[in-house]
Every structure is written in structure tokens, then in C-alpha cells.
Amino acid sequence: MKLYLVRHADAEVEPAEGMGDEGRSLTSKARATALAHFGALSERMAGLHVVLASPLVRTVQTAQLLSLALRHEGPLRVHRSLQPEMPVGKLDMLLADLAGDASLALVGHQPVMGAFAAHLLGLPTFPRPVQPGTVVGLDLSAGISPGQAKLLFYAALGQPVLEAVG
């Protein structure tokens, strides 16, 4: 199983009138740069089966851009386990439920995406910043228990793709 942890792209500082943080949408610049970034990763992320996103506007928009860039025609769903500040244990349970899918993208927030990557890799913390638009690719073919994942790549927006971090 391949897992792609995606932090949402840059969002507006202020939410729309009458909306809270959950209503902040992506900036127009972030939409363009994220689409290009995800498109550049399309070969590495080929064969994506399912995209799950936090229900917040900025993550749903990021998931839509990811799906568009990868020409993903499979399911794109929201899942409350991807909301900000959710414990990593919730993502463990979500991953266990989806273990049959060959390739999965989770679009969420920081610090959860970085903490989950570290957890799966068996690290105390993820050694690189997980800035908006970052994608962390993991190979979970050895299992989904902590420490069994293998890093496929780390792709921060506007930086070269790394196949090792540390």
C-alpha cells in the first residue's frame, strides 16, 4: 500500500464573512502553485485509488486540485478523522479500515500530517518541515504499524523532491 500525506495549500488569512477558520479557502496563487506541484508529482503518485480530506474548505480544495492534477477519477471524500488537532490514533484506525486500497492520499493539516508521517516511520518527529502543499510519500507494504513505513519521497512546494530525509 502506498500512502501520500498531503498538507493543504496556503489559505487566506481571514475567513469569509460569517465563517470561522473552517471556512478559509485557498489563495489564488496557492491554487496555481499547488496544481503545478501536484502535476509534477503525477508520475510518482500514479494509480491513486482514494483521496480523503479533512472537511475544512482549504483541504477539500487542495484534494480537488490533487485529483485534477493526477487525473484521479476515483473517490474523493471528506473524513472527520483528518480535522485539525485530531490524535494520530484516529488516523491509525482510518488507515486500518482502508488497508485494502493500494494507493491512498490523505489531505489534512499540520501538525497532524507531520506527526503521522513520523509515527509511521518510527521517528520521534518528522525531520523536515511540512509546509503548505507538502507531500510525503510512504510505502506501507511491510505493514501499517509504527516503524514499518518506508519513505518514498518528500516534496515541499518549490523545492527539489527528496527521497531521503534526516
What does the block give as the cell for 121? Answer: 516511520
pLDDT the model gives residue 89? 87
Query: Model-level pTM?
Result: 0.95
pLDDT tens-digit profile of 40-93? 999 999 999 999 999 999 999 999 999 999 999 999 999 999 999 888 889 989
From residue 36, give the alpha-carbon distance in Å to each of 31, 70, 124, 157. 9, 10, 32, 10
Q: How far apart are CA 53 and CA 80, in angstroms?
A: 8
- What angle separates helix 112-121 from helix 88-97, to the nearest 10 degrees? 70
E strand or H helix that includes residue 69: helix 57-70
Q: How far apart are CA 126 and CA 102, in angstroms?
A: 24
Amino acid at 75: P
pLDDT the model gives residue 101? 63
Domains of the chain by residue range: 2-155
Within 10 A of 155 (CB to CB), how many other CB atoms are there? 23
CATH superfamily assigned to domain 2-155? Phosphoglycerate mutase-like (3.40.50.1240)
Asked if 134 contacts 157 with a C-beta cutoff of 8 angstroms, the reply is yes
Q: What is the mean pLDDT of residues 137-163?
A: 95
Q: How far apart are CA 44 and CA 46, in angstroms?
A: 6
